[in-house]
Chains A and B, each alone.
Chain A
Amino acid sequence: MTLNFKDQVVFITGSTSGIGWATAQLFAQSGATVLLNGAHNQKSLDSRVEELKKKFNIQSKGYLFDVSNLNAVKNTYNEIFANYKRLDVLVNNAGILSGGLLGMLQEDNVEEMLNVNLKGAIYNVQYASRLMGRSKSGSIINISSIIGTQGIAGQTAYASSKAGLLGLTSAAAKELAPNNIRVNTVAPGMINTEMARNGMTDDSLQKRIKEIGMQRIGEPQEVAQLICFLASSAASYITGQTIGIDGSWNI
């Protein structure tokens, strides 16, 4: 399958590392104008933008903002509209993860995770769909997690925030289908990213790998390929779906 996103504008939240960065590179390789987002580090964001421009000879721009800040989201989409007049693909990838058993959940952590992982995604879908509605086409991909579809002990807040994305996808897919805007969810398993490996010892990683049918963790590029497929015309009749990518991991 050849992916071609030439003349298309793609916005990926949380795209300076991990799955978001792998996805940005794959879209860039396929000719898209790639808009990046990070929440904290302007320097790292700028450096990623430059890297894409140099390596793939495409247009790119970075937007530093917290996805859970509605005003910042609004301003970003106003800027995207002013600069590009269109948006073809949104990848809602920004997310944070912090574990905690139910008895030890703290209000701040729960709120922050729901704000970034779920509210941020809703706001982005709200504004992205308005830009996509102008051209009566578009694709939105929400990045959930196997923890959102199956749950895991010690990550109730994270699981809830990621499960919320499934509802967002189902409802938005129905509402936006008449405008030919597709909305899907990708639910990765254990992927080789800093966020997933954070706090894991080699032993705990090996133990987890043994639980995975394919006996290995996935690579961000493998998730990026699924995301690009869903964004492409090859997936033109797929909407409202949640697709797992987990090497057969039953948690």
Chain B
Amino acid sequence: MGNEITLKNIFIESLSIASDEVIDSLEYNTIPKWDSLGHMAIVAKIEQSFNIMLDTDDIIDMSSFGKAKEILNKYDIKF
């Protein structure tokens, strides 16, 4: 499975949203389910799926699906 699909599935599962809702412009706090709890659920799944440990600054900066991909690039996860 490609990284894009893995990340998309993480968002779908963590936020219980439909696949077509997960687009680059999907932003934190713009849908009810992506609140702080949802955010930490995404982080936990990202860390587990990609076997990494994110910096706190990156967790806070992960403000959209597109931004998540940008941040994961820093951890050698390419999209």
Contacts and interface: CB of A to CB of B under 8 A. Distances in A.
Interface of A: 74, 77-78, 81, 126, 130-131, 133-134
B56 interface: yes
Contacts of A81: 53
A131 B55 CA distance: 13
A133 B53 contact: no
Nearest to B59: A130
Given A130-B53, A131-B53, A134-B47, 12 more contacts: A74-B55, A74-B56, A77-B53, A78-B53, A81-B53, A126-B56, A130-B43, A130-B44, A130-B47, A133-B44, A134-B44, A134-B48
Nearest to A85: B51
Interface of B: 43-44, 47-48, 53, 55-56
A81 B75 CA distance: 15
A112 B16 CA distance: 45
Contacts, number: 15
A82 to B, nearest CB: 8
Contacts of B43: 130
Nearest to A179: B44
B50 to A, nearest CB: 12
Nearest to A136: B44
A85 to B, nearest CB: 8
Contacts of B48: 134
| Chain A to chain B: the 10 pairs with minimum beta-carbon distance, closest first | A81-B53, A133-B44, A134-B48, A78-B53, A134-B47, A77-B53, A134-B44, A74-B55, A130-B47, A130-B53
A126 B57 CA distance: 13
Contacts of A78: 53
15 contacts: A74-B55, A74-B56, A77-B53, A78-B53, A81-B53, A126-B56, A130-B43, A130-B44, A130-B47, A130-B53, A131-B53, A133-B44, A134-B44, A134-B47, A134-B48
Nearest to B51: A85
Contacts of B47: 130, 134
A133 B47 CA distance: 10
Contacts of B55: 74
Contacts of A77: 53
A126 B56 CA distance: 10
A133 B48 CA distance: 9
A133 B37 CA distance: 13
A131 B44 CA distance: 9
Contacts of A74: 55-56
A51 to B, nearest CB: 30
**Residue in A77, A78, A126, A133 with the greatest tally of chain B CB atoms within 10 Å:** A133
Nearest to B48: A134
Nearest to A78: B53
**Residue in B43, B55, B56 with the greatest tally of chain A CB atoms within 10 Å:** B56
A35 to B, nearest CB: 16
